[in-house]
A = this chain, B = another copy of it.
Amino acid sequence: MTTTATAPIPVFEDEDSGDRKLAIICSKGSLDMAYPGLVLANAALGEGIETHLFFTFWGFDMINKKTMAHLKFTPVGNPATHMPPSLMGLPGMTAFATHMMKKQIEGIDIPEVPEFLDMISDAGGHLWACRMSADMMHLGEEDLYDGVEGIISATDFIELSAGAQTLFI
């Protein structure tokens, strides 16, 4: 009796985006596989979605102060680069391929990894580091990007990702 024809729309909106949550596990430390998680997190935050990034294994390079500004890209092992395997292993190829990819990324106005993390952090995105990876690499909070909220266990991650859409990158 109290419902009206226009009532269902705001209610649906509310359920759909108000409660929506995204949890992305970033496990890679190469330049090409660092960006997908950052781009998706940024897009999700723009939609008002609660967004968590959990850095683990090689993904620690994305939040390690020493490496985060120096991620590299190699064509080795990736046939989609269409580079002859005989060239891939030449000295200096990783530096050259990294340089080329950075220019491409800059060309479409995508920020470098540290600036991208600043954007995500400023927009309310949550950044977490994996306890097991930190222990393996003997790294502490002082070694990690300041925006990281904490070093947490896999169990903590499972708990915080309750109800989330999940991605493993």
- Which residues of A approach B to under 8 Å, CB–CB? 16-17, 20, 22, 25, 27-33, 35-36, 39-40, 42-44, 46-47, 49, 56-58, 61, 67, 71-74, 76-82, 85-86, 89, 91, 93-94, 98, 104-105, 107-108, 110, 132, 135-136, 153-155, 157-159, 161-169
A158 cross-chain contacts in B, Cβ below 8 A: 22, 40, 43-44, 46-47, 49
A162 to chain B, nearest CB (A): 5
- Give the most central of A77, A153, A154, A158: most B CB within 10 Å: A158
Contact A79 B94 (CB under 8 A): yes
Closest chain B residue to A161, Cβ basis: B165
A136-B105, A168-B36, A169-B168 known; A43+B89 contact, CB < 8 A? no
C-alpha gap A67/B36 in the complex (Å):
22
A82 to chain B, nearest CB (A): 8
A72 cross-chain contacts in B, Cβ below 8 A: 79-80
Of the residues B25, B82, B163, contact of A167 by C-beta under 8 Å: B25
Q: Which A-B residue pairs are the 4 nearest by beta carbons?
A: A29-B80, A77-B77, A72-B79, A43-B154
Contact B79 A30 (CB under 8 A): yes
